[in-house]
Amino acid sequence: MDNYIIQLPEQNNTLYRVITLCVLLMCITAFSFLLFVNFGSAILPYAGIGVLGSCFGILAWLPRFHNKNKFPLFPLLYLIFALLWFLLGAGWVAILFLLLAGVGIFARQKKMIKVSAAGIHYPSFPAKFFTWNQVNRVLLKEDVLTIDLKDNHLFQFVLQAGDNPGLHQNDFNEFCNQQTTPQQEI
């Protein structure tokens, strides 16, 4: 096999959940304030939708109902909040929620390292590509992937059991050793 795709474990899941809760709490506070201050005006339906959406988001945030592999609920909620803020006349807040939705979609993507004969694609923002000339050694041992670069950068990942069922340690290490070992001409 000449191409290997390795799924990396989720690293920032806790940080993403804490930021999501803070944003939802700020939304429920802001929309509740608008609801009570402007009671009886044309803003009432938008503020009501914002309060209900925030409450729904907080319920979905709870660990009992949380499932990270399902529908991207929070980016969708952020898009709805952006529309509501735009309709309420706060365009800069709407832009902020559009940015949050984009970051949320990016953060939910599974991170995959692609190893091929051309080099290693590393999933960062922006994505990085390391040619084999830049790589000192790549080693997979006991579900720990190590990428050692010649410029003294070292990447290590503890892989989750079951995330990479087609990945065979010996075949992968042999392939990577062939790529990093200089070929001698006969």
**Which residues, at least 6 apart from 96, have a Cβ–Cβ distance to it below 8 Å?**
82
Res 1: pLDDT: 53
Q: Looking at the domain that runs over 111-180, which CATH code has it been given? A: 2.30.29
Q: What's the DSSP call for residue 3?
A: -
Q: 10 vs 14, 72, 110, CA distance in Å?
A: 9, 16, 8
Res 111: pLDDT: 82
Res 127: pLDDT: 81
What residue ranges of the chain have pLDDT lower than 70? 1-2, 11-13, 39-40, 42, 63-72, 183-186
On whether the pTM is more than 0.85, the answer is no
Res 67: pLDDT: 55
Q: 83 vs 53, 58, 93, 116, CA distance in Å?
A: 12, 19, 10, 43
Ranges of each domain in the chain: 13-108, 111-180
